[in-house]
Every structure is written in C-alpha cells, then in structure tokens.
Structure 1
Amino acid sequence: LRDMRHENINLFLGLFFDSGIFGLVTEHCTRGSLEDLLSNEDVRLDWMFKSSLLMDLIRGMKYLHNRDIIHGRLKSRNCVVDGRFVLKVTDYGFNEILNAQTIDTEEEKPENLLWTAPELLRSSSLRRKGTFSGDIYSFSIIVQEVISRSAPFCMLDMPPKEIVSKVKEPPPLCRPVVSVDEAPLDVIQIMKQAWSEDPEKRPTFEEIFKQFKSITKGKKTNIIDSMLRMLEQYSSNLEDLIRERTEELEIERQKTDNLQ
C-alpha cells in the first residue's frame, strides 16, 4: 500500500494499533471529503467541475484495480479533495488489513451500506473481502451523489434500513432516480450500467474511463475556467461580507457617538 503512487490516490503513510485503537495514517487533504464538498452550499459546482471530480475518481480506481487492489469500502466520504480541488481515493486496502489482523468490526449501520452492492449485502463474508464489481456499484452511487448533489437514494424518501433491505431483496429493483436534465445522457447510462443487478454486466473501470474520456474530450480548459469562475465568486462573496460587516460597524459607531 505504501508503494501506491498516483495523482488520484491519497498517500498511505502507515497504520497503528495501540491500546485497542486502530488507525490509518494518510495524507491530509484540506477540502475534506467529497461528501463535505457536495454538501457545502457555498461551493458552486457546474457540470464541468463535477465531471472533473468524477474523472479523478475513475482514474484513481482504475489505478487500484489494475494493481489487483479491491477497495471494498468505496463511498463519497472515502474520496478526499485537496487544495487544488483534485479528488483522491483513500481507505483502499482497509478490508485486507482488518482481515489480516483479524480485527472485528462492529455491525455496520444501514446508512453506511447505501454504497454496497446487492450481492455483498447478501453475504457478510463477501462484504468483508469486497469485489471488483462491488467497487463498480459503489462508484455508480457516488455518480448519483455528484450529479444530483444529494445523499444516496435521498429522492426515494425512505429510511436507510428500508433502502438497504429493498436493494438486498429485489424485485422490484431499488435504485436512485436521476433526472436526465442533470447530466449528459451518456453519463447517466454509464451510471445505470454500473449499478446493474448482475455483477457480470457491470463495466470495468478501464471501460468506464474510455467512455468517460470520449464524453469529456477536449473540455479540460473549461474545467480551469469553471474553477476560476468559482474563485471569483468566492472573492465577491467575501467582498459583500466585508461591506456588510463595515456597515454594521458604522451603525454601531454612530450609536456610540449619539450616546456621548
């Protein structure tokens, strides 16, 4: 794990297990997780920006799978974003470490299983190991989060326990609902292929990479433009805030003057 080097892989520095506390040591990414970024309403994300984040995720996962590493726990909170808005996959190899050290993990909460493939929900032993096709399914749920900028399955308005139960035991098939207005149709089709009920029908990250590259071809400059626009928005928001605070301060000063 320490030999993994890729722009879209978060650097694994080591681990410790002391006094019953087990922890991974990884590189710190200043903007937090992808989940944090999506829920931060101050950050405006246009489609070019979203596609850039997804492409980073695809590249990182392709790198891991090409080296026979199953993630097994992929979700938006296991994708971190650095100061340059580059997405990096983290917590890879975590399941292997737990299994090798025979560390028992507590029964997972339903809200942590929303990214888990149906076949893994039906088998706890398979879930502990993870599968390549299971990672593809997890990716598809992250795509839904990025496209709709909302929590997994949130449009179904059901508690996580009920959603997990429905995903685990079809029919009917239970999947998120995404509007065709929110992203290019080709991207929505990739997402739907990736959450196929049959693991064999899900594409590989190599195939997803090729498809996604053809969709976003020649748009790299637009991503930079959208980042610059976002930074401009940040600075104008800051200027408004300073102006507002200055006016408040002036009003308070006048009140003080009147009292004298």
Structure 2
Amino acid sequence: LREIRHENLNAFIGACLYDEGILLIQEYCSRGSIKDILDNGDLKLDDMFVSSLMGDLLRGLSYLHDSSQFRFHGNLKPTNCLVDSRWVLRLSDFGLTFARSGHYVSHHAEIITTPGNMVSGKMVNNVTTTRISFANTTTTTSITRTGSGTYNSSVRSTPRAVRIVTSPYLPPEFSDIFKNTQNRSVVIDNHRKGDMYSLGVILWELLKRESLATFLGIKDEREIRAEICQKGNSFWPQTLAILNSEAQLQPVATNTGNCSAGTIIPSGVLDCLKDCLSFDPDQRPDIKSVRLRLRPLHKGMRSNIFDIMIGLMEKYANNLEILVDDRTKQLSEEKRKTGSV
C-alpha cells in the first residue's frame, strides 16, 4: 500500500493503533468526497467538471485492475472517491479487502471488568474479560473466582458474525457469495465484476447530478439496497430511462468537445451504464471496455480540471488582451479626431 503511487489513487502513508481500532493515514483531500460534492446544493457542476471527475475515476480504477498487485478495489462508493485541492479525483480504501478477511492481520483488545454487572447480555459476578476481536474470529478469555479463592480460566473462540452487505453501491450478489471464502482467485474475479457495478452506480449519480439516496428519497442504506433488490432486474433499466428522458441524447460530442453530463449525453453512454449495472456479473464489461465506450464524454478535454481551468484562464487573458488593444485603438482614434477639431 505504501509503495503504490498513481495520480488518481490517494496515497497511503501509514496506520496506527488507537483505543477503538486502527486509523489509516492518507493524503488530505480538501474538497471532500463525491458524496459531499453531490450533496452540496450550492455547488453547480458543469459539463467539464463532471467529465473530468469521471475520467479520473476511470483512470484510477483501470490502474487498480490492470497494473497494481491488488487487481480490484473491493469497496468502491462515492465516499471513497476523494477530490483534492486541484479538483483531481483520487480513489481511497483500496487494497484492504484481504486485510479485513484475514486471520492474522489485525485485532482489537478490550478489557471489561464488572462486579455483578451485565456483560454480553448475561448477569455475571466478578468477571474480567479480555476480548480480542480478529477479522473473522472472536477469542474471549474469562477469569472467574471460585468459592475457594482459586481462579478458573477458560478460552473460547467463536466465528465472527458475517457483516451483512448493506451498501447500495455493492452488487446484489455480494450478499450471497464469498462470505467465508479464502480463495484469492474467486475473490478477485467477483470483486472485479463488483467494481464495475459500483462504477455504474457512481457514474449514474454523476450524470444525474444527485445521489441515489436523494433520487429515491431514502436515507438508510439498508432500505435503498432493499429497494434495488426487491425490484430486481427492472430497477436500473427504469432508472436509466428516467435519466434518458431528462437528457438530450446526441450521437457525437459537441463542437467544443465538452459533452454535457446533465443535458447532453453522447449516444451509447447509457447502454454502457446499463451493462455495468446488470444483475448478471458475467454481462458486465471490464474496465478497458468501459473506458473505450465512454471516450465521447472526454473527447477534446485535457487530463484534469486544474489544467482545464488554467486553459480557460489563458484563453480569458488572451481575449482580454485583444479587447484592450481594440479599446486602445479606439481611444487613439478619438484623440486624433479631437486634435483635428
């Protein structure tokens, strides 16, 4: 994690332990996340900003899938798409899936001492419990005092409760597969396909310029996921149809090269999103195919928003110089006329 470097990946600096778990230290992104940007009603995203963010997202995910040792992201969602001070999108929280599911990667110890109090829902007397929580097991050591003044010690290991998938950005099949699998090839294959579903949801939000929660009027992630799973294969086609009805579809990019993400969508983009959002993992395209199909959104654009802004400022400065020259010539002409009079 510390060695991986890419412009569209948020650099991992290190980690430290604290009382309640592990803190990850990464580069600071002052603009917040995609979720913060979408939830900010005062921030109006124009075409070039949205297209640039989408391009950054595609480049970062492409690097993870094709060039990094991780081969997938595994937890792609708007809160993990951070934006730095230069308006460059950087992916975070990658490379941690195996750490969360491994046996020996990390643990957290908690000591509970209670005389005649409630511990884990049961009334106990004079019990000191040291609980060490691993990623997928919980080891509990209990020391109790007997009537003769001696102590009995017992150690019990129990499976950790499987975390129920509630995020609406993870594909429906994640609720049922690889809950306990340690087969790396199986995990990688499923996560790569899952990344494409998550990518489709985020791209839809950027094109719609509002979060899925806002669109559905539901705040709780469990309810959003339940809504998606309940409607099944009909959910995303209906949702894309709404986006389609709000958009003016164009067969090619506009003359300026800046395709509108809210009012003008190049032909084929919605078809690409539909494939990414398929409930059948085998029907989802890979990241190379998606980048190729979404090229019309970025045609004629520079690499990032900062470069675009610099270009606009240079263009504005050039136009201003031309305007000043014109006004200077007009002033000189008026002075000449005044002198003649």
What is the rounded CA distance, in whole Å, between the counterparts of 2:300 and 2:199 in structure 1? 24
Kept in 1, the 8 Å contact 2:17–2:23? The answer is: yes
Contact in 1 for aligned 2:86/2:306 (Cα 8 Å): no
Partner of 1:186: 268
Q: Which runs of structure 1 show a deviation greater than 6 angstroms over 4 or more consecutive aligned residues?
A: 228-231
CA deviations 1:145-170 (Å, max 9, x no partner) are: 11112122543445643442343456
Whole-Å Cα distance in 1 between the matches of residues 95 and 212 of structure 2? 23
- How large is the RMSD of aligned CA atoms in angstroms? 3.1
Alpha-carbon displacement from aligned partner over 1:29-51 (angstroms, at most 9, x marks no partner):
11111111122223221122101
Report the CA distance shift for 1:214/1:7 in structure 2 as closer, same or farther (over 3 A): same
Alpha-carbon distance in 2 for matches of 1:21, 1:147: 37
The gaps in structure 2 that reach 5 residues or longer are 106-133, 137-159, 248-261, 314-341
Number of the residue aligned with 1:121? 175
Question: Which one of the candidate residues 135, 157, 161 is aligned to 1:103?
Answer: 135
Confirm or deny that 1:145 pairs with 2:205. yes
Q: How many residue pairs get matched?
A: 229
CA deviations 1:180-233 (Å, max 9, x no partner) are 2135143222211111111111111111112222442213399669747999xx
Taking structure 2 as the reference length, the TM-score comes to 0.59
Partner residue of 2:226? 165
| Alignment-mate amino acid for residue 284 of structure 2 | R
Higher Rg of the two aligned structures: 2
Specify the code of the residue in structure 2 equivalent to 1:212: L
Equivalent residue, structure 2, for 1:5: 5
The code of the aligned residue for 1:167 comes to: I
Structure with the bigger percentage of helix: 1
Alignment CA distance shift 1:191-1:221 (3 Å): same
Letter in 1 for 2:271: Q
Matches for 1:38-49 after TM superposition, within 5 Å: 38-49=38-49
- Per the alignment, residue 241 of structure 1 pairs with none
Q: Which moved more, 1:153-162 or 1:115-124?
A: 153-162
Alignment of 1:25-40 (within 5 A): 25-40=25-40
Q: What is the letter of the counterpart of residue 179 of structure 1?
A: L
Shift of the 115–167 alpha-carbon distance from structure 1 to 2, 3 Å rule, reads same
What amino acid is the match of 1:137?
Y
With CA pairs under 8 Å and 6+ residues apart, which has the higher RCO, 1 or 2? 1
Change (3 A) 1:166 1:222: closer
Give the SS at the match of 1:23. Answer: strand
Q: Which of the two has greater strand per residue?
A: 2
For the Cα contact (< 8 Å) 1:120–1:127, is it kept in 2? no
Report the counterpart of residue 195 of structure 1 in structure 2.
Answer: 277
1:132 aligned to which of 179, 183, 192: 192
Partner of 1:19: 19
Q: Percent of aligned positions with the same letter in both sequences?
A: 31
- State the alpha-carbon separation in 2 of the partners of residues 62 and 90 from structure 1: 14
AA aligned to 2:198 is S
Alignment of 1:47-86 (within 5 A): 47-66=47-66, 67=68, 68-86=70-88
Counterpart for residue 257 of structure 1: none
d(CA) in 2 for partners of 1:222 and 1:91? 22
Equivalent AA in structure 2 for residue 94 of structure 1: L
CA distance in 2, matches of 1:15, 1:222: 30
